[in-house]
Amino acid sequence: MKYCAEQGCKTLISSGRYCENHKRRYKKKPVYSKNKSFYRTRDWKDLVSFVYERDKGCCQRCGKFVFGKQAHAHHIVPIQIDPSLKLNPDNIMLLCSKCHPIVEKETMEKYFPKKKKFDWKLSQEN
């Protein structure tokens, strides 16, 4: 038995590093798996640098100045819809880490609408 590795936690554990309250949770990967290798290419990194300079380091949604890992490049038209636009600078916008999930959700709703659930209520016509 040993103590949890979280600072200040006095919970005893038999295996692992952290107790149940402090176990590290892994996030789902946001990158579409088929495009993962694309985001590591020199062409993509050069394009992101160009877009960052073009947009002067500002989020295109809220206007906040972003840099480093806070600066996210977003495809306006997703790669799954039109792969020919994946390296087009006009199809990329710079976003901050807070705005990117919001715009991503809007993009998904636009290009991949969810099917409406069937309304089981019968309409009453008088």
The CATH fold assigned to 41-111 is: His-Me finger endonuclease fold (3.40.1800)
Average of per-residue pLDDT across 95-113: 90
| Predicted model pTM | 0.65
Give the residue with greater pLDDT, 102 vs 117: 102
- Determine how β-strand 92-95 pairs with β-strand 72-75: antiparallel
Q: What is the domain partition of the chain in residue ranges?
A: 1-25, 41-111
Average of per-residue pLDDT across 21-30: 71
Q: How high is the pLDDT of residue 27?
A: 60
Give the gyration radius of the chain's Cα atoms. 22
Given a cut of 60, is residue 46 above it in pLDDT? yes
